[in-house]
Amino acid sequence: MRRPASTHSSYRIVFLPYLLLLIAVAGIIYLSRQSISFAEKVGSAADRLAGFPETILWAWERPENLSFIDPAQTGVALLARTLYLRGSEIIVRPRLQPLRIPPGTAVMAVVRIEADASKPIEWSQSQRQKTIDAIAELSSLPGIRAVQIDFDARQSERKLYRELLRDIRSRLDPSIPLSMTALASWCMYDNWLAGLPVDEAVPMLFRMGVDQRNVLLFLDRQRRFAARLCQTSVGVSLDERLAKLPPHRRIYVFNPKPWSESAVQTMLAENRKR
Beta-carbon contacts of 73 under 8 Å, excluding residues fewer than 6 positions away, are 53, 54, 55, 268
- Which range, of 17-21, 143-147, 148-152, averages the lowest pLDDT? 17-21
Q: What is the CATH number of domain 53-273?
A: 3.20.20.80
Question: How far apart, in whole angstroms, are the C-alpha atoms of residue 203 and residue 85?
Answer: 23
Question: How far apart, in whole angstroms, are the C-alpha atoms of residue 109 and residue 55?
Answer: 15
Residue in 185, 129, 106 with CA at minimum distance from that of residue 152: 185
Segment 218-226 shows an average pLDDT of 92
The answer on pLDDT for 18 being more than 90 is no
Side-chain-side CA neighbours of residue 209 (13 Å): 3
**DSSP summary character for residue 185:** G
Segment 111-116 shows an average pLDDT of 96
Look at residue 64 and give its three-state secondary structure. Answer: strand
Question: How far apart, in whole angstroms, are the C-alpha atoms of residue 151 and residue 168?
Answer: 14
Q: Does pTM top 0.75 for this prediction?
A: yes
Model pLDDT for residues 45-67, shown as the tens digit of each residue: 557 999 899 999 999 999 999 99
Number of H helices, E strands in the chain: 5, 11
8 — pLDDT class (breaks 50, 70, 90): very low
Q: Which helix (H) or strand (E) holds 48?
A: none
Burial 56-71 (b: 16+ CB within 10 A, else e): bbbbbeeebebeebee
Please provide residue 151's backbone torsions phi and psi, each rounded to the nearest 5 degrees.
-155, 165
